[in-house]
Amino acid sequence: MSNRSAIVLTGIGASGGVTVGSAFLLDRRRLRTPRYHLPPGQEEAELARLRAALERSDQQLAEMKEKVEALQGDEHTLILEAHRLMLQDPAFITEVRRLIEVEHVNAEWAVRRSARRIRNAFGKISDEYFRERKQDVDFVADRVARNLMGETVDAEPGEVPHGAIVVARDLSPADAAVLLQPGRIAGLVTDRGTKTSHTAIVAHARGIPAVVGVVKASELVAGGDELAMDGDRGVVVLRPTPEQVRRFKAARRKAQAVERTLEEERLLPTVTADGHELRLLANIEFEEEVGAVERVGAQGIGLYRTEFLYLGRRTLPTEEEHVHAYRSVLSSMKGLPVTIRTLDVGGDKVPLEPRGRRKYEPNPALGLRAIRYCMRHTAVFHTQLRALLRASVHGKLRIMFPMISGLTEVRDAKAALEQAKEELRTEGVPFDEEVEIGVMIELPSAALMADRIAQEVDFFSIGTNDLIQYSLAIDRQNRDVAYLYRPLHLAILRMLQFAVEAAHAHGKRVSICGEMAGEPHYAMVLLGLGVDDLSMAPSSIPLMRRMVRAATLEAAQEMLREAMAFDTADEIERHVRGVMLDRFADVLGIGEELEDLLQQA
């Protein structure tokens, strides 16, 4: 194999880091599902076969969860529990049974058809994270189908050599929970997936370099092939030359040295060299992530998503379930601020009735979601607001309303909160009367109304992912237009600048909680804009802390002025990138050296 030339494969950098190792090919070829009609009178036997496969699938997931918890604690096992719930979801099971009983198709094919209908509904959700959950539907259906067919379902960790780079078409959450153990494998490459797929999230949380979405990687790579990969740039070199291997290994040594120093700085204040403080917060979804937040020295939680309480279940969460989830995180953070975002999905994902009937929207990205859904279904909203207020006595709570388009929604949401407060006062239930109220600035209309909105709330959190998407009218999942997603587009910078200045004019703090906040190349742009807080994945905080401490506010403002004098996103990005590489060559230059090397390949 060594006499074959190197091939550079590109994908999506899902978890940073440089590594070199031998490929281990995990066979996860797509299952060819048989399709046939049942002979007359065989429906009951087919339903019995289905029940057995569902029970076997549930048992496998329960055993997997127990095994992972014993080895690694309960972090990242909630997804396995969610898959168990999906096995019982009436929207899934009822349709499978109908296909068998009415259309007389075999159970394997009925499972596939039912899953396809549900995943299509997920595919219409605007939020990238929740849209990616359609993969979970596939994983659950695949497990049931494999059990029906007597196929191998889960990977055995013992079959993967230590230090190998795992290459697969995709990894199920069960495979990811077992295989992605720090120190066990060197890296991960998959044909499918995005930055928000479960595999990418687990790899990122565990510090394992990962490149996903490398089309046909599992077909091009053979077991034992040498690979060199850069998880930051989303690049994999198949059968690298000796010189490429030497350069990748040198880059890895430098990166590891940087990581050790970052760890030593975790308790240092995030203050620029000229004395300006910028608070670094963490984005989380589950309370199990609080441990990671503490390990990196985050100064609070800037975004706690609450949608997990509603998904994968047949009934709405009770007030007590809400209180339990919020209280746990607030107590764990020991007085540091915790910003909890109210429900941010639409009726297509929220169980509206005890029997699990759901409404599917043709275009949920622009439909009844987030604050719009809450103001339509006031009982759902009321339950969450009461729970938030009750939990507020256990820490420093900040409540945030998503997808605000104008003042009417702000006032309606505040009125609903006031109604909940009045109820609790009447009942004698304690809560924090001074709890802060904020809104997400993620729609162009909210950004342009920031000066008015700032007068009625305590803080802004700018969701740059949606703000960019809605402002530039692009779908990031559409490969034909994904190149237009430009965080440094002058229109975006102007909107950010206006929103920050409007908030500050009224003495209000501004946070950014989109992906932009954790991108190190944008650190000085955000500092120059005057943002008060940056909220990001916990693993991004150490590097961002280093960069803020090495920068000055004056230099950041000067760089922003120069950048905004350019006309196009290309010109602005080129300028910002150049400045950042000059200033932070010790941390950003490692990847640049590799890029030069790859361009020569």
When the pLDDT of each residue in the chain is averaged and rounded to a whole number, the result is: 86
Band of pLDDT at residue 1, cut at 50, 70 and 90: very low
Q: Model confidence over 117-138: pLDDT tens digits? A: 877 766 665 565 566 667 778 8
Q: Model confidence over 424-483: pLDDT tens digits? A: 999 999 999 999 999 999 999 999 999 999 999 999 999 998 899 899 998 766 667 777
User: d(Cα 44, Cα 50) in Å, to the nearest integer?
Assistant: 10
SS3 51: helix
User: d(Cα 152, Cα 74) in Å, to the nearest integer?
Assistant: 25
- 470's enclosing H/E stretch is helix 464-472
For 306, residues 6+ apart whose C-beta sits below 8 A from its C-beta are 322, 325, 340, 341, 342, 343, 344, 384
Instruction: Burial-class residue 499 by CB neighbours within 10 Å (0-12, 13-18, 19+).
Output: buried
Helix intervals (H) in 230-274: 242-264
List the strands of the sheet with 18-26, edge to edge: 7-10, 235-238, 226-230, 18-26, 165-168, 187-190, 210-212, 12-15
Averaged over 24-39, what is the pLDDT?
Answer: 80
3-state helix, strand, coil in the chain (%, to 5): 50, 15, 35
Structure tokens at 103: 């259309």
φ, ψ of residue 241 in degrees (nearest 5): -75, 160
Question: What sign has the CA pseudo-torsion 20, 523, 533, 131?
Answer: negative
Name the CA dihedral angle for 415, 421, 425, 431, rounded to a multiple of 10 degrees. -160
Give the per-residue pLDDT at 477: 61
SS3 362: coil
Which residue among 83, 394, 513, 521 is the active-site one?
A: 513
User: d(Cα 92, Cα 115) in Å, to the nearest integer?
Assistant: 7
DSSP 11-44: -EEEE--EEEEEEEEE--PPP-----BPPTT-HH
**Weakest-pLDDT range from 53-57, 113-117, 312-316, 506-510:** 312-316
198 in active site = yes
Q: Model confidence over 191-242: pLDDT tens digits? A: 887 776 767 777 876 778 999 989 889 889 998 999 999 988 889 999 999 9
**pTM of this prediction exceeds 0.85:** no
Structure tokens at 277: 């403080």
Band of pLDDT at residue 283, cut at 50, 70 and 90: very high
Task: State which amino acid sits at residue 591.
Answer: G
Secondary structure letter of residue 346 according to DSSP:
B
Secondary structure letter of residue 395 according to DSSP:
S
- 424's enclosing H/E stretch is helix 407-427
User: d(Cα 308, Cα 366) in Å, to the nearest integer?
Assistant: 21
377 in active site = no
Which residue among 83, 198, 394, 521 is the active-site one?
A: 198
Tokens 């014993």 belong to 70
